[in-house]
Chains A and B, each alone.
Chain A
Amino acid sequence: MTIPRILRNLAAAIGLVLSILVVWQLIIWVFAPEEWLFPSPRAVWLRFWELVEVDALQHHVKVTAIEVLAGYALGLVLGVLTGYPISQLRIVEKIATPYLVAANSVPLVAFAPLLLLWFGNGIGTKIIVAGLIVYFPMTMSTIAGFHGVSPMHARLLHSMRANKWQRFRYLELPSAVPGLLAGMKIGAPLAVVGAVVGEFLGTGEGLGHLILEANGLLDTAQLFVAIIILAFFGIGFYLMTLSLELMIIGPWHNKRRM
């Protein structure tokens, strides 16, 4: 009997979660750690419901979600807008690349206080931090994507007397799509990182704030709640980009090439 692949994958995912829970509970039973050091699954579960009941969690999740999505969108748009011209003009590429690399090698956390100073304490700063962290890989992927145009195909379009716009539409853009999607896939979990880093700068909202607060109060169960939700954020977001990829280039990409 064959089980559909999607069901098998789902079963494997659920099985993994269950086994992590079992190991976690075993550690609690065997070592009986202090709750502030290592809370039991049950304690984390209870803390989760407490947070939901005071309506705090929904709010924090919503704030972080907005920051992540807005930052992600910002990073993607800026990345494509700078990556495309860089990929088209050699001279721009030569001038810009060292600066991009230099800017990218400074940890974002180093920029964060500066951004706080300039853009204030609001949600906007978090969106900018998330946007920046997505921006660099997106720019690089855009450049790589548009450089992926095969000279053979360029010659083909030339022989068909395609104009500049048709070259873009029929050749350059579709050639770049796998690269663009790769950048989007890398950027998705990074946007979550960026938003939390932004929240660490302090505002009183979001999952990052929940982590800071829990840390201050030694409320380790709350820490676990926030971390687990963030992990789900990352996974969900990544899966979204993955299904986008399957939808757009699934029928032909990564198959035997002509």
Chain B
Amino acid sequence: MIKVDNLTMTFRHNRGMMTVLEDLHFHLEASEFVTILGRSGSGKSTLLDLIMGLIKPTAGTIVRRPGLTIGYVFQKPALLPWRTVLHNVSLPLEIAGRPRKECNERAQEALRQVGMDHANYGYPFQLSGGMAQRVAIARALVQNPDILLMDEPFAALDPMLRDNLNVNLLKLWHRTGKTILFVTHSINEAVFLSDRIVILEEGRMITERKIPIPRPRDFDTFGSELFVHTVGEIRKVMPIQPNLPREPL
């Protein structure tokens, strides 16, 4: 669906240039769940912006299947406080110029998919963090995109809730057959969700791993031996932060 070749992204900095992504190769197949794993500042979000087409690469190519539509979920819900939940979700359709009736019906359907259709006429301030992020996912789904880009969507939430939302995300993924490109710095989350993990460090792709854990996965998966083993394997290939000591302080 998406093929990225020799991708390099350089930003002009106060003094000189800063290379955020360097010679990246990467592809995404239909209905795959792929996670980009890396710590903060490894260029994950920039990669999503490039794939989304929000910014242009310095060098290299991004080939998208013609007519491909993309939904984007940000780190924060970014709901507009003056719009009701329903109208936050219908916003992408309104901007695309769809008639009002269609906007509302499809927004309702998207909210049903994330289990938030009871909150249609509430305002964002009435939602908890997890609920708000589910609404944000509904907003990304409302145009029925082929691909969902998710930029650390649950990073700000507490771990229990995060597992819960991830289980539900997998259900949604099975049900809708969407292709999901997920970004996180949590190894557990990446292993639990993905078919494939791409590890990024300082703008370079370190390695790519397939995750052998069978599907469907649910809460029990977190405790399984295979899960713990796979997390350990991934941790081994994750580079040590150069300026942190190996031994405990």
Contact = CB atoms under 8 A, between A and B. Distances in A.
B156 to A, nearest CB: 11
Contacts of A166: 95
Nearest to A174: B82
A108 interface: no
Nearest to B123: A252
A161 interface: yes
Given A155-B74, A249-B82, A256 B92 contact: no
B95 A170 contact: yes
B91 A170 contact: yes
Contact of B125 (A161, A162, A174, A257): A257
Nearest to B140: A159
Contacts of A156: 74, 78
Interface residues of A, number: 24
A177 B80 CA distance: 13
Contacts of B80: 153, 170-171, 174
A164 interface: no
Of the candidates A255, A257, A258, the one having the most CB atoms from chain B within 10 angstroms of its own CB is A258
Contacts of B43: none
Contacts of B153: none
Contacts of A158: 54
Nearest to A249: B82
Interface residues of B, number: 22
A152 interface: yes
Given A156-B78, A159-B72, A252 B95 contact: no
B127 interface: yes
B125 A256 contact: yes
Interface in A209-258: 249, 251-253, 255-258
B205 interface: no
Contact of A161 (B77, B82, B95, B124): B95
A150 B76 CA distance: 12
Interface in B60-96: 72, 74, 76-82, 91-92, 94-96
A160 interface: yes
A9 to B, nearest CB: 24
Interface string A57-83: 000000000000000000000000000
B32 to A, nearest CB: 22
B52 interface: yes
Contacts of A150: 78
B132 interface: yes
Interface in B88-129: 91-92, 94-96, 123-127
Contact of B123 (A171, A174, A255): A255
Contacts of A157: 95
A12 B79 CA distance: 39
Given A158-B54, A166-B95, A252-B123, A153 B78 contact: yes
Interface string A165-204: 0100011001001000000000000000000000000000
Interface string A139-164: 00000000000101101111111100
Interface of A: 150, 152-153, 155-162, 166, 170-171, 174, 177, 249, 251-253, 255-258
11 contacts: A150-B78, A155-B78, A159-B72, A174-B80, A249-B82, A251-B123, A253-B82, A255-B123, A257-B125, A258-B79, A258-B124
